[in-house]
Amino acid sequence: MSIADKLATYMRACKYAMAGYSTEELINNYKELVTRLTDDLPSDVREVIKELIAPISTWCVSKQSNNDKE
pLDDT range class, residue 3, cuts 50, 70, 90: confident
DSSP-assigned letters across all residues of 21-53: ---HHHHHHHHHHHHHHGGGS-HHHHHHHHHHH
Query: Looking at per-residue confidence, does 63 or 69 come out higher?
Result: 63
Q: What is the pLDDT of residue 42?
A: 93
- pTM (global) more than 0.85: no
Asked if residues 52 and 5 have their Cβ atoms less than 8 Å apart, the reply is: no
For 20-54, the pLDDT digits (tens) are 888 889 888 988 898 888 888 899 998 998 888 88
